[in-house]
Amino acid sequence: MERRSYPTLNALALADLAASLRSTSFWMTLAWSDILQRYRGSLIGPFWLTISSGVFIFGLGPLYASLFNLEIKKYLPFMAVGLLIWGFLTGVINESCRAMLDNASVMKQVKLPRTLFIFQIVARNFIIFLHTLPVYIIVFWYCDLHLSANMLLVFPGAILLLLNMFWIALFLSIVCARFRDVTQIVGSIIQLSFFVTPIIWNPATQHAPSWVVDLNPFYALIQLLRAPLLSELISWKVAAMALLCLVVGGAATTWLFVRARKQIVYWI
Amino acid sequence: MSLVQLEQLSIEFPIMHAGHRSFKKTVLARATGGKILTGARAAPVVRALSDITVDMAAGDRVALIGPNGAGKTTLLRAIAEIYEPTRGSVYTEGRVMALLDLSLGMNHDISGRENIRLRGRYLGMTAQEIDALAPEIAEFTELGDYLDMPTRTYSSGMLLRLAFAIATAIEPDILLLDEWMMAGDATFVTKARNRMERFVERSKILVLASHSEEIIRQWCNKAMFMKGGELIGYGDVGEMCALYRQEVDRPDAIAI
């Protein structure tokens, strides 16, 4: 009988990704049913998120504007949009730390691509993020922002952001499956980053060492969406930083995924 | 065309405990050459399967026999490519389905009907296949209006009926079963038994891990005798069962 050689690690990793892309409708279904389930029984469903982020933003916005001595209509849009995007970033990062562990039993019963769970997490959090957009619309209207062609940059910005979130989530899901204490380390980093990253403070109106802003990948990732949503251009510094993250992070993750993919099921 | 080819298949995995799972300890141990923390030394590796070479073709109904820890479930997982080979290769042609745990992919906060969809997807059915099979599955369960209620309200018997109906709805070419699926007449009423028999009969290749000679003789025409991750023998059921009995040196050892 004809013998076939077993695929190489590279081929297996690529096949994993291809299998996930083929089952797009499956992980979209999973992401949706996660959301439906979370808000089952509540009348307004996922729009609870809209309300809770709205309360946070309209509650803290005026306070911080007066603390920082800034005009509310100047301060609020930057802070509000930044917070909504930050919610998406941290949602993906925190959940990806548990991606493999939460799916351990499924992974040991059927053959499923590992990247499927990553697509599920990114999709779920992006859908949740879209549910908070009414807050943005209220801010847009209240603060007299204007529509402009710059806003079209939201599409390339979103693509670049999602690609970056994908590698970050895949990388963390693997490392956290192997080393359980990394989840806590990631949590601490996220907490610190919230204050270091221009979200509730604005480098355009407040003084900060420029390297704190320019070298902060979280700032670049947030700006990819925030700038166009505020009718601003995405600066070349931000675009370059986001691309650099994608290339370096993507390469590191590919290396890790190819080598570790087979082992993941034994770690969980 | 259905076939399973295992060639010098070996599977090894690390047995990790808390120390190995700590990033801090691992870094510290590496940095100090293992002098400070010994808890994070390389995890011991277990060889769960070694050098298994077997061919199965359509019509083969293979029993996996051997003492506990022989690697029977690991082999099922390896054929399903849940575990990928450390060395050697696995090649299968045809739709593979492993039934190791009935409750797979069940979410108890959603309704029975939604669980049919969800679990079907996990088992590799397409949305269209589920649409086509859902009425038949729903009918078999006899759950009626309960199908629209969250499965957490189900009794364990109802849950089993639902899970069983979904799992046995499609027709895989290569069916991998753990013994409990076939065991215990008490668990399954006649109706379920008939469905199970049809389901198993329609598969082109069956691999069944079992301790029960009765079940093996009913369902299988070949057997793989395994011990400690190694293949001791592969051949006719009767021969292998005799070999196994001889090996364990107790005439009744094969029955549980």
Contact A33 B23 (CB under 8 A): no
Interface test with B, best of A2, A5, A6 (most B CBs within 10 A): A6
* Contact assessment for residue B10 and residue B47, using Cβ atoms and an 8 Å cutoff: yes
CA B93 remoteness from chain centre: 18
> What ipTM is given for this predicted complex?
0.84
Q: Quote the CA–CA distance of A148 and A208 in Å, as a whole number.
A: 29
Q: Cα distance from A85 to chain B (closest Cα, Å)?
A: 29
Compare all CA atoms of chain A with the CA of B18 and give the residue at the minimum distance: A180
Task: Please give the structure tokens belonging to residue B112.
Answer: 């029975």
Whether A79 and A202 have beta carbons less than 8 Å apart is answered as yes
Residue A200 pLDDT exceeds 80: yes
Query: Nearest CB to B21: which of A1, A30, A180?
Result: A180
Q: Is A224 helix (H, G, I), strand (E, B) or coil?
A: helix
Task: Residue A106: list chain B partners with CB under 8 A.
Answer: 104-105, 122
**Three-class SS state of B204:** coil
pLDDT grade, residue B185 (50/70/90)?
very low
Residue A134 corresponds to which amino acid? Answer: P
Which residues of A sit within 8 Å Cβ distance of B? Answer: 1, 3-6, 12, 25-26, 29-30, 33, 36-37, 40, 105-112, 175, 178-182, 185, 262-263, 265-267
DSSP state string for B169-188: SS--SEEEEEGGGT--TTTS
Min Cα distance B251 → chain A (Å) is: 34
Which residues in chain A have their CB less than 8 angstroms from residue B130's CB?
Answer: none
Give residue A155's pLDDT band: very low, low, confident or very high (50, 70, 90): very high
**Reported pTM:** 0.90
d(Cα A92, Cα A72) in Å, to the nearest integer? 30
Nearest to A111 among B5, B81, B109 (CB): B81
* HSE toward the beta carbon, residue A131, CA cutoff 13 A: 22
> Which residue of B lies nearest to A38 if distances are taken between CA atoms?
B109
**For residue A108, what is the nearest residue in chain B, using CA coordinates?**
B82
Nearest to B244 by CA among B72, B34, B93: B72
Who among B23, B89, B104 is closest to A182 (CB)?
B23
Residue B123 lies in a domain: no
Between A1 and B42, where is the model more confident? B42
Q: Read off the pLDDT band of B254 (50, 70, 90).
A: low
Q: What is the DSSP letter of A150?
A: G
Check pLDDT > 90 for residue A193: yes
Distances in Å between the Cα of B235 and the Cα atoms of A225, B64, B240, B241 are: 64, 11, 7, 10
Taking CB atoms and an 8 Å cutoff, what residues of chain B touch A32?
none
Shortest distance between the Cα of A162 and any Cα of chain B, in A, equals: 25
Q: Do A6 and B80 touch (CB under 8 A)?
A: no
Convert the pLDDT of each residue in A18-65 to its tens digit.
Answer: 999 999 999 998 998 888 887 777 777 778 888 888 999 999 999 999
Return the structure tokens found at B89.
């290769």
Partner-chain contact A109 B100, CB within 8 Å = yes
For B234, the domain range is 3-95+206-248
DSSP codes of every residue in A99-111? HHHHTHHHHTTS-
pLDDT digit string, tens, across residues B58-106: 989 999 998 888 889 999 999 999 999 999 999 999 999 888 877 666 7
Residues 6+ apart with CB under 8 A from A87: A53, A128, A129, A132
Q: Which residue of B has its CA nearest to A266?
A: B13
- Measured from the Cβ of residue B114, the count of other Cβ atoms closer than 10 Å reads 18
Q: Give the DSSP letter string of B43-82.
A: PPEEEEEEEEEEEEETT-EEEEE-STTSSHHHHHHHHTTS
Cα–Cα nearest to B70, from B231, B251, B246: B231
Cβ atoms of residues A83 and A57 within 8 Å: yes
Directed axis angle between helix A154-178 and helix A217-229, to 10°? Answer: 150
Number of folded domains in chain B? Answer: 1
Residue B223 makes CB contacts below 8 A (sequence gap 6+) with B62, B63, B64, B65, B216, B234, B235, B236, B237, B239, B240, B241
Residue numbers in B near A110 (CB within 8 A): 80, 82, 98, 104, 122-124
For residue A1, the one-letter residue type is M
The values of phi and psi at residue B68, to 5°, are: -55, 140
* H or E element that contains A144: none
Q: Which of A106, A109, A179 lies nearest to residue B98, judging by beta carbons?
A: A109
Out of A4, A33, A180, whose CB is closest to B110? A33
Distance CA A204, CA A99 (A): 37
User: Measured at the alpha carbon of residue A25, what is the angle toward residues A22 and A29, in degrees to the nearest 5?
Assistant: 145
Query: Between chains, do B114 and A33 touch, taking CB under 8 Å as contact?
Result: yes
- Closest C-alpha to A120, from A92, A97, A160: A92
Give the C-alpha distances (Å, rounded to integers) separating A148 from A71, A80, A144, A231: 23, 19, 13, 6
Contacts of B141 (CB under 8 A, 6+ apart): B112, B147, B158, B161, B162, B165
What 3 state SS string does B86-100 have?
CEEEEEEECCEEEEC
CA distance B226 to B214: 18
* Domain contains B244: yes
A–B: how many Cβ contacts below 8 A? Answer: 83
Taking the C-alpha atoms of residue A218 and residue B98, their distance in angstroms, rounded to an integer, is 43
Name the pLDDT band for B36 (thresholds 50, 70, 90): low
pLDDT tens digits for range A59-101: 999 999 998 888 888 899 999 999 999 999 999 999 999 999 9
Minimal C-alpha gap between B45 and chain A (Å): 11
Mutate to test the interface with A, among B121, B128, B149 (most CBs of A within 10 A): B121
Q: Is the pLDDT of residue B251 over 80?
A: no
Mean pLDDT, chain B, integer: 83
Asked if residues B190 and B202 have their Cβ atoms less than 8 Å apart, the reply is no
- 8 Å CB contact of B21 and A108: no
**Closest CB to A111 among B22, B80, B109:** B80
HSE-CB for A180 with a 13 A CA cutoff: 12
Other CB atoms within a 10 A radius of the CB of residue A149 amount to 9
Q: Are A37 and A118 in contact (CB under 8 A)?
A: no
- Return the CATH number at B62: 3.40.50.300
pLDDT at B256: 43
| B42 is a domain residue | yes
- For testing the chain B interface, which of A109, A183, A264 should be mutated: the one with the most B CBs within 10 Å? A109
**Calpha distance A248→B47 (Å, rounded):** 36
Per-residue pLDDT, A129: 94
Q: CA-to-CA distance for B216 and B214, rounded, in angstroms?
A: 5
Beta bridge pairs of residue B46: B13
Ranking A95-109, B120-134, B183-197 by mean pLDDT, the lowest is: B183-197
**Contact (CB, 8 A) for B179 and B208:** yes
Q: Which of A39, A110, A179, A257 to mutate to test the interface with B (most CBs of B within 10 A)?
A: A110
Q: CB distance A266–B82 less than 8 Å? A: no
- Name the closest residue on chain A to residue B100, using Cα atoms: A109
